[in-house]
Each structure stands twice: as C-alpha cells, then as structure tokens.
Amino acid sequence: MRHSDPTADDITTLIETQMHLEGPLLPIFHAIQDACGFVPESALPLIAGRLNLTVAEVHGVMSFYHDFRKTPAGKLVVRICRAEACQSMGGSALSAAVLDKLGLDWGDTTADGAVTVEAVYCLGLCACAPAAMVGDTLIARANVPRLERAMEGAA
C-alpha cells in the first residue's frame, strides 16, 4: 500500500486498468484504493469524465460504501465488530477500552498516523465473538491484551 497523493496520470492509468470490465466504477475505486490507500477527491472528476458520469454520481456511489476512504488511513487499521453477536459478548466494552486507550473516536487516526480504528459490522466470526481485525489479521475472542499484542506485532 502506497500512502501518497497520486498524480492525475497515476489515477488515469489505474482507471484504464479496469475499463475492460462491464460496470467498472466499483473496480476503479478498489484499484485506486489498493494502490494509494484511499480515493482522493481529485480522482472523482477523472473517473466521471472517463465513464461519462457526473461527479455527483461518482460521489454518490463512493460515499455509499464506508470502505472507500477519502483520506489516507493510519499505517495500521484496526476494525472492531459492533454487530449484535459481538456486542452481546462484550464488544462494546472492548471497543470503548481500545478507543479510550488510543484517545480516538470511531474512524479517527492517531496523531502520529500510526493507527486508525474503525467500526465493522460483522466479520463472520459470531461463534467466537467479540471479533476484530488488525491489519489483515482476524482476531477471534478479542480482548484488550490480545489486540495490543496483535498491534505490536503488526507495527
């Protein structure tokens, strides 16, 4: 993942990689986010122009999906499940503790850009709730120490 502001040429190249697809809008968002870590605002007019859509339409689609970022995330993204099963197994206390410890609110990034904490609604691990995800690693039966260890390991 490259966390830098891409140029218009970078974006255009990424758009072209998806143009062979039918309905390439979402794949374009993914391609840009995969390459850049986020989808910069400056990409929207380029996507709109290429697909003959308006910026409003592109913005409407992108803002519908929480996973597409408008700004770069921290180096490490921690997602904590807030869905029903995890909540019933102490997920709320867990997330409160993690957020408190880092001094963040949902979706925020630490001042040093190290960690972003995000809510997620179900990771498919209800049987071993509460669940979380640190970077690309899934954590079952999560608690504060396990999460801290995972974060140290990833950092």
Partner 1 sequence: MKDFIIPWDDKDMGTPARTGKPVHLTIDGIAVTVPTGTSVMRAAAEAGIAVPRLCATDSVEAFGSCRLCVVEIEGRRGTPASCTTPVQDGMTVRTQSSRVKKIRRGVMELYVSDHPLDCLTCSANGDCELQDMAGMVGLRDMRYTPGHNHFDPSGTGARSQSEARLRMPVGEANPRYSPKDLSNPYFTYDPAKCIVCSRCVRACEEVQGTFALTIEGRGFDSRVSAGGAADDFLTSDCVSCGACVQACPTATLQENSVAELGTPDRSVVTTCAYCGVGCSFKAELNGDELVRMVPWKHGKANRGHSCVKGRFAYGYASHPDRILKPMIRARIEDPWREVDWDEALGFAAARLTAIRQQHGRKALGVITSSRCTNEETFLVQKLTRAVFLNNNTDTCARVCHSPTGYGLGKTFGTSAGTQDFDSVEQVDVALVIGANPTDGHPVFASRLKKRLRQGAKLIVIDPRRIDLVKSAHVSAAHHLPLTPGTNVAVISALAHVIVTEALYDEAFIRERCDWDEFIAFADFVSDKRHAPESTALLTGVNAQALREAARLYATGGNAAIYYGLGVTEHSQGSTTVMALANLAMMTGNIGRAGVGVNPLRGQNNVQGSCDMGSFPHELPGYRHVKGPEVREIFEKAWRVPIDPEPGLRIPNMLDAAVEGTFKALYCQGEDILQSDPDTRHVAAGLKAMDCVIVHDLFLNETANYAHVFLPGSSFLEKNGTFTNAERRINRVRKVMAPKNGYEDWEVTQMLANAMGAGWAYTDPGQIMAEIGATTPSFAGVTYDRLDELGSIQWPCNADHPEGTPLMHVDGFVRGKGRFIVTEYVATDERTGPRFPLLLTTGRILSQYNVGAQTRRTENVVWHDQDVLELHPHDAENRGLNDGDWVRLASRTGETTLRVRVTDRVSPGVVYTTFHHPDTQANVVTTDFSDWATNCPEYKVTAVQVSPSNGPSDWQEDYSAQAVQARRILPAAE
**48 touches partner 1 (CB under 8 A):** yes
Q: How far is the CB of 50 from partner 1 (least distance, A)?
A: 11
139-to-14, 30, 33, 125 alpha-carbon distances in Å: 32, 24, 24, 9
Site string for partner 1, 68-107 (x = CB under 8 A): --x-------------------------------------
In this structure, which amino acid lies at residue 151?
M
Q: Closest Cα partner for 39 from 75, 73, 81?
A: 73
Strands 115-120 and 76-81: parallel
Answer yes or no whether residue 67 interacts with partner 1 by CB under 8 A. no
Among 53, 97, 128, 138, binds partner 1 (CB under 8 A): 53
Bind-site residues for [2Fe-2S] cluster: 81, 86, 122, 126
CB closer to partner 1 out of 55 and 85: 55
Cα distance between residue 106 and residue 77, in whole Å = 12
